[in-house]
Structure 1
Amino acid sequence: MAQSKEAEVNLSEILPTDMSSIAEIEIPSLETSQSAEEATPTPGKRKRTTRGPHESKDPNAPRRPQTAYMMFTNDVRKDVRLDHPDTSVSDRAKIIGRMWADLEQTKKKEYQQKAQEDKERYIQEYVAYQETDIYKEFIRKKFPNLQSKKPKTDDEKSATSSKTTTTPSAKAGASSGKTPLSCQQQFVPGLNIPIFSDEFLKHNREMEAKLRKLRQSSSNLEEENALLSRHVDSMKSAVLKVQNEVKKQEDRNGKLQGHLVMLREILVTMFKEVPLPGSGDLPTVDTIDAYMGKLQQAISNDPDKYPDLMVKVSDIAKQLDTVLKPRLEQDGLTLTEEGGGASEQ
């Protein structure tokens, strides 16, 4: 009982005597607590970011032109999918890229010609489309802040001037002679042309046509530069190949010239005791060529007249083959049967 009394006393001390004051106690609402929880960042969680609206596209604009590579891709995509059914989209794209790189220049030129015709078609259709009211309306909706304001009547000007006051910045702009920002937005920077007027649209079309021509010329120059680079590389490889062949031929000619000198010396040594029929001349290093020609002519004209000479020449020919063959093989040359010359193996 004593404990219950003490509890009653304590409660009476804590609770207010006037129960109406309890209503004045502020209780945080559920919405406030939820917003506080959302505002407090939770560790380990990323804050979601909302993306802005995508840029609106003109649904009525002409179809954009395709490149030569995209036309080629559309033609071979089905066949590549059938030939490689288990590959992914990225792998098929790599296969098509290699096919385009290995494509013959004549077929590649055909696709480039089709792409150029499609581009010219798009330019003509787009220039004609810019003349329509649909295109102008689309531009006004896409850039509402850049539209030129309608001129105010005299009553509206007087009412506006009476209600508004001139700010210090406006006074400074007026005193310095600068045009207000709202007026500057109505003209193209650097040109005194009102935005979205017929003159502005005409100027815009002319600039776009010039830009397309410059891009086309730049693309053509890049293709020509790439083609010339390939030609230069092929010419360099051809020149290098010819230089290697010339060097090999010079080495071979040097070997043959050395063997020719050696052959003359050997022939002079072997035929030094064989005089020519009729004249009796003996060979020397300077006359060995003429000597061998006259000797062959004498034997071939009347072989029965000089039987002893035929035997000597036959013996010398056998010895010559035995002497020359090892030397020629050492330098990578062979002795040809026809004419007795040397050739490279």
Structure 2
Amino acid sequence: MTTGIDGSSGSSDTSPKKKGWPKGRKRRVMPKDTNAPKGPLSGYMLFMSEQRELIRQTNSRATFHEITKMVANKWASLDPEEKQKFLDAAEADKERYQREMGEYRKTDAYKKFVQKQKKEESRPNKKARKEDEGQSVKEESLPEVPSSLYSALEIPIFTEEFLNHNKAREAELRQLRRSNTEYEERNAIMQKHIESIKLSIERLEAETNQQQSNNTALQQHIGALRKTLVKAFMSLPLPGSNQTPTEESIDEYMVRLHSTILSNPQQHQALIHTVRNIVSSLAIS
């Protein structure tokens, strides 16, 4: 009975075995073709190359991480027309690479590189470590590597199969870039919409605060006016009920006084004269 890395018994472990790159075995590093044309740059990389120098001129103490973050923020907020210039430049650079690569594959230097690569592939890896029973048990806990990744790594570089595989990956990458550009444009529109909403909210809050201040001032003015009316009409009881006003009943008092006068003006001439004198004195003061 063997014991895995997690301490569980090998005989009771019914989970499927996972495959991964064997521990202790180094991946073979294939030789690089130094004579090959320089690979194409994406639109973002062209933008970064331009902006990185500008940022360094204005902010020489910025770290690499800070510069990268600033460039990413600028790229995200870049105008779509301005961004398209970099994307068009990237497409032109890609066409340049494909053209130069097609010419390079016709040269003797490329043929020598292919021969060297095939020779390197056929050479046994002396640093590979043989697997023993303990090593095979440890492999069970390693993450599984998709078979498609192994197949992609095993394709010899610059062969027809490699080029077809590379074209398929480039098509997927172009689609992802287009999708990413669309999402960035939508995000920029949403950001502008959010900023507009924030400004509207701030404006409404300011108007609400101003209205509340006006209401408070009006309430204070109405309270002062009630007190003034109570003081002025305190000596004038209503006909029939002899009711005198208070701060709580002044509104009802004024309504009843007005109704009494309108109901029979001829009969209440003296009352009208008294009210006019009171109102005149209020206007004068």
**TM-score (ref. length: structure 2):** 0.50
Structure number with the bigger relative contact order (C-alpha 8 A, sep ≥ 6) is 2
